[in-house]
Copies of this chain bind each other. A is one copy, B any other.
Amino acid sequence: MTRKGRQVHKGCKNNGEDTPLSARKKSPPPKTDRRSAILDAAEAEFSAHGFDGVTLRTIAKNAGVDLALPHYYFGSKEQLFVAVFDRRAKVLNDWRETALIDAIAEARPAAPTVEAIVRAYLEPLLKGPHLSEPGWKSYYALVAYVNNTPGWGGRLMAEHFDPLIRKFLDALRLAIPGIDEKDLYWGYHCFSGALTLALAQTGRIDKLSGGFVRSEDLAEACERMVPFITAGFEAAQRAAPAPRARATKPARVKSSAH
């Protein structure tokens, strides 16, 4: 990932996604959809070897297409990577946002519990039938890779996920009234780190436990993580002043401002 300016990509009229339905009649999807074949192959390769560890030639070969096709559809290796990252990020954000909204609706008029919020953050990712599709597991490893990549990785993550994360933080502020703001952010840091490592599926604790724990079992990971993370946040609650009458310097909670 170099930092050179984005060059414009002229070829490829059928973007597959953001084409307005007007011009959609012409050029129906070819029988063998090369475009998503490239995305699939790139997803698998990038998640396994990182951006620099991957060759467009192997991506093209694994996708069963010509070497020039990735450039035709995506313009450059860099833009291909971003396209891979984009594709499922939107789906993920939708799932998690509705999970959060549901948790809030179920608890109304009270604030949802910390555990309900933590569940809404984790379960859409770690539970569900989509996990049988290997593409999703590859994508999770890719997210972990990006999240641990300084520089452009952090930028990519922030663009795609920070808006939703802020909504979760807002929910946590209501669930843990009076929580210190730094505890909130550092708590989220621990939360995010634990999730990221789970998504990476590196098999570390498998080996550490001699095969007793299987890190590919994401549903199990979810069930074990929820009480751990919940307890962590609630410890910050216990440390905070009780939110009865505003006693000594009550940390004002205003949606999301500092």
Contacts and interface: CB of A to CB of B under 8 A. Distances in A.
Interface string A138-169: 00010011011111011001100010011000
B185 A192 contact: no
Interface in A197-238: 197-198, 200-205, 207-213, 215, 220-221, 224-225, 227-236
Given A189-B194, A193-B193, A158 B52 contact: no
B52 A207 contact: no
A210 B53 CA distance: 33
Given A188-B205, A227-B239, A213 B153 contact: no
Interface in A101-155: 141, 144-145, 147-151, 153-154
Given A52-B52, A182-B213, A232-B228, A189 B221 contact: yes
Given A150-B201, A166-B208, A189-B204, 12 more contacts: A1-B53, A49-B52, A147-B197, A147-B204, A150-B200, A150-B202, A153-B202, A181-B209, A182-B212, A183-B224, A210-B258, A231-B232
